[in-house]
Structure 1
Amino acid sequence: MSRPVLVTGLGLVSCAGEGIEAHLAALEAGAAPRTDTQTFAPYCVHPAPSIAWDGQIPKRSDQRQMEAWQRLGVYAAGLALDSAGVKDDAALKQALHLVVAAGGGERDYAVDGAILTGLRNAADPGAYLNERLQNDLRPTLFLAQLSNLLAGNIAIVHGVTGASRTFMGEEAAGVDALRIAQARVAAGQIDAILVGGSYSAERPDVLVVHEMGGYLARAPYHPVFERGTRIDAPAGFILGSCAAFLMLESEAHAAARGAQALARLDRVASDRAPRIPGSVAHSLDVLWAQAGLASPDRVLSGASGVAPITAEEQDAIARLAPGADVRALGDVIGHGLEIVAPFGAALAAGLVAAGSAREVAVTTVGHRRGEGVLRLTQA
């Protein structure tokens, strides 16, 4: 079976605000996103907005036991359920499936700092590291950071209690979350599913990890496609705190409950090309055809800003979609790793629903692995 898969609900949170209207306004304005250049100098982040958590997470006890990345995700999931008109439909939510793309939670910074300091002078670094990890890390801390806790908290707070699965693995995880969700509805395995994830950029540990890999762009902010092209605009990404969830339904299921279709999500194509010169362009060529893209009038690129793959992606898009309006998602919300593909899909659905686009392509090229292409059209 290959049933049409419709987007019927959207929940978005980022430095641009919350809800699809705020993000469409930010996209069309084209202004630089809100950026914090002081807290983590010399690096900058695109911080989460001020949020009244009670609007989607009414119990303060639930709010307290979640870290920022979980609160963002649970809040965005609630927005998507509201948008789809199912927030108060307990029966539907009990059967609603859930797919989440997320990384891990925060670290014990004191323990990490002590281990890194001691590692410098350890006679046997391997043995020292093993001993410290076994003795210093608290099992309860580790268990509290598992990525599938986001799915668990969505179930607890919103009553979404169908089967759930969680994907980890940076940008590719978001692509695969959408790919599996769309394919299951299209194949007739399920009728409705909530898919998305969340990311908190305001964490010293993730900044350290990505700086060690050489992936971070330093302040000040420069547009994504300018990074690496000038000496004053270094390559790399600027992390953004963000969350995005989409409600996907079969056409028949949406019609039966009188739901408004915002857009149609066609096949999600993914790849894992070797990172050698020309491989990203070739991967996008193949994925473009697999996704069924014809002549999109808008392209939302999840380009990270990392060189040289961002320039290769930009050239490929210009060749594949001549004349299309191309925007980098990072110039609206920053880079959210696992959330890039879901956020791009949600924003594309919003463009289609608003009548601002007929066909939208979303590209996701991971900063070190994984590629994806999505197609959204009018329902």
Structure 2
Amino acid sequence: MELKRVVVTGLGALTPIGNNIQEYWDALKSGKSGCAPITYFDTEKFKTKFACEVKNYDPLQHFNRKEARKLDRFAQYALISSDQAIQDAALDMDAIDKFRVGVIWGAGIGGIETFQNEVINFSQGDGTPRFNPFFIPKMIADIAPGNISIKHGFMGPNYTTVSACASSANAMIDALNYIRLGHCDIIITGGSEAAVTMAGVGGFNAMHALSTKNESPQSASRPFDATRDGFVLGEGAGALVLEDYEHAKARGAKIYAEVIGGGMSSDAYHMTAPHPDGIGVERVMHNCLKDAGISAGEVDAINTHGTSTPLGDVAELKAISKVFGAHANKININSTKSMTGHLLGAAGAIEAIASILSMQHNLVPPTINHTEVDSNIDPSLNLTLNKAQKREVNIAMSNTFGFGGHNACVLFRKLKD
């Protein structure tokens, strides 16, 4: 059977550097850091005292008090970003077939704040199991797409992908394939996360995964820099409306880009560490290129997973050099996590959006905070250091990897008729 073409017709974002798409793009191109001291809880006893929080966020601007009490922050972020994307796509809710509209979402953790607070409350009691009746519905990772579908009446496929930090990239790939195969006309996809909590920061600190540069939080996320010491925890959401090209064209939709391929692989190596030679990462990019039916030499830009960890950054760049060969030096490589921090399960979505906007504007956002060259990194690679670079971007790749060895890669192309 002939696969259907899939395009992006709507975008939404709620991030540490901007609460909508325009704010997000303005911050990306200017190299703005979203990192600052944590405001959600007292960090006195924590090794890491900073994160990339969503700024100027008041749930009561989006939900009434009753609604807000029933929603963990990660689900609130999902609803807000998906509403933005649906509005951006100008969907006529009376004209679309809602049985053919799905919601496939990504969340690596889900309602960790709800879980944390309920356990604290229970532990401080007398052992009587007194729990909020919304404890489980607020916490479970699948509640985000459930709430989106309930709000809008979408009755197609509805679920959450959970693959740690690759979650929303996997969600996008699933959405791509459902539409390609003709099962849906439209899928709302993306991811959300809200793990800047005592449990989240404390847990990642226990793994020695987070940066501890408390004296200079704004420059703590420094992918590819020799002095990087771990990732910076972020939060937020990104949403994309994926649509069958013919369906989008028939309704006169604005089209941002075509989704031309997705790849997945596993490191099968270690619970938290990447394979030092990037074997799984190499394979996922090969798989994505093959799925898209393009050659490595056609890729113009790669938004890397680039978390600012000592092992991960080097392994990914090694893999890029192997996959792209001499062409690797002609690609603009960057890591927008230098600005947003690591949004865990939402990372794939907001970074895919950054890749799409790069194509729209022919501008690659910078990898900020780079001051010292790492001798383990090939100096011939263009890592788009510290300043955005103008260039024609026709095909962009977005890489996302997760604990457990989960690797996902998505390719976007400017629309060709």
| Correspondence for 2:13 | 12
Q: Is residue 334 of structure 1 aligned with residue 344 of structure 2?
A: no
Task: Letter of the 2:54 partner, please give it.
Answer: A
Give secondary structure in 1 for the equivalent of 2:246: helix
Describe the shift of the 1:214–1:360 C-alpha distance in structure 2 as closer, same or farther (beyond 3 A). Answer: same
Q: How does 1:89-104 map to 2 (within 5 A)?
A: 89-92=93-96, 94-95=98-99, 96-102=101-107, 103-104=109-110
Check the 8 A contact 1:47/1:201 in 2, yes or no. Answer: no
For 1:230-266, what per-residue CA distance to the aligned partner results, in whole angstroms no more than 9, with x for missing partners? 3xx42x2111111011001111000111101100111
Partner of residue 301 from structure 1, selected from 299, 304, 307: 304
Q: How far has the Cα of 1:226 moved from its partner?
A: 4.0
Give secondary structure in 2 for the equivalent of 1:238: coil
For 1:37-88, what per-residue CA distance to the aligned partner results, in whole angstroms no more than 9, with x for missing partners? 5753542210112246567x454432332121111110000000011001x5
Separation in structure 2 between the aligned mates of residue 266 and residue 281 of structure 1, nearest angstrom: 19
Describe the shift of the 1:20–1:143 C-alpha distance in structure 2 as closer, same or farther (beyond 3 A). Answer: closer
Task: Letter of the 1:277 partner, please give it.
Answer: P
Q: How far has the Cα of 1:363 moved from its partner?
A: 1.0
Separation in structure 2 between the aligned mates of residue 308 and residue 113 of structure 1, nearest angstrom: 38
Partner of residue 222 from structure 1, selected from 220, 235, 242: 220
Separation in structure 2 between the aligned mates of residue 14 and residue 164 of structure 1, nearest angstrom: 24
Give secondary structure in 2 for the equivalent of 1:353: helix
Task: Letter of the 1:26 partner, please give it.
Answer: A
Check the 8 A contact 2:238/2:346 in 1, yes or no. Answer: yes
Q: How far has the Cα of 1:190 moved from its partner?
A: 1.4
Q: How far has the Cα of 1:108 moved from its partner?
A: 3.6
Separation in structure 2 between the aligned mates of residue 214 and residue 135 of structure 1, nearest angstrom: 34
Give secondary structure in 2 for the equivalent of 1:350: helix
Give secondary structure in 1 for the equivalent of 2:75: helix
Separation in structure 2 between the aligned mates of residue 274 and residue 109 of structure 1, nearest angstrom: 34
| Correspondence for 2:54 | 48
Q: Is residue 343 of structure 1 aligned with residue 341 of structure 2?
A: no
Q: Is residue 277 of structure 1 aligned with residue 276 of structure 2?
A: yes
Check the 8 A contact 1:174/1:341 in 2, yes or no. Answer: yes
Task: Letter of the 1:75 partner, please give it.
Answer: I
Describe the shift of the 1:247–1:281 C-alpha distance in structure 2 as closer, same or farther (beyond 3 A). Answer: closer
Q: How does 1:234-245 map to 2 (within 5 A)?
A: 234=229, 236-245=230-239
| Correspondence for 2:374 | none
| Correspondence for 2:408 | 372
For 1:78-117, what per-residue CA distance to the aligned partner results, in whole angstroms no more than 9, with x for missing partners? 000011001x5245273321101122212244735986x9
Q: Is residue 316 of structure 1 aligned with residue 319 of structure 2?
A: yes
Query: What's the RMSD between the two structures over aligned residues?
Result: 2.7
Partner of residue 135 from structure 2, selected from 141, 144, 159: 141
Q: How far has the Cα of 1:333 moved from its partner?
A: 1.4
Q: How far has the Cα of 1:210 moved from its partner?
A: 1.7
Partner of residue 66 from structure 1, selected from 65, 71, 96: 71
| Correspondence for 1:127 | none
Describe the shift of the 1:114–1:149 C-alpha distance in structure 2 as closer, same or farther (beyond 3 A). Answer: closer
For 1:189-245, what per-residue CA distance to the aligned partner results, in whole angstroms no more than 9, with x for missing partners? 211111012111321111122222221111334343246x33xx42x2111111011
Describe the shift of the 1:364–1:345 C-alpha distance in structure 2 as closer, same or farther (beyond 3 A). Answer: same
Describe the shift of the 1:314–1:205 C-alpha distance in structure 2 as closer, same or farther (beyond 3 A). Answer: same
Check the 8 A contact 2:398/2:410 in 1, yes or no. Answer: yes
Check the 8 A contact 2:265/2:280 in 1, yes or no. Answer: no
Q: Which sections of structure 1, spanning at least 5 residues, go unmatched?
A: 118-131
Q: Quick check: 145-154 or 27-36, which moved more? A: 27-36
Separation in structure 1 between the aligned mates of residue 201 and residue 186 of structure 2, nearest angstrom: 36
Q: How far has the Cα of 1:32 moved from its partner?
A: 2.6
Task: Letter of the 2:308 partner, please give it.
Answer: G
Separation in structure 2 between the aligned mates of residue 164 and residue 110 of structure 1, nearest angstrom: 27
- How does the TM-score come out when normalised to structure 2? 0.77
Task: Letter of the 1:67 partner, please give it.
Answer: D
Separation in structure 2 between the aligned mates of residue 196 and residue 112 of structure 1, nearest angstrom: 31
Q: Which sections of structure 2, spanning at least 5 residues, go unmatched?
A: 270-274, 364-392
Q: Quick check: 242-251 or 37-46, which moved more? A: 37-46
Separation in structure 2 between the aligned mates of residue 136 and residue 226 of structure 1, nearest angstrom: 48
Q: Quick check: 73-82 or 61-70, which moved more? A: 61-70
Aligned length: 357
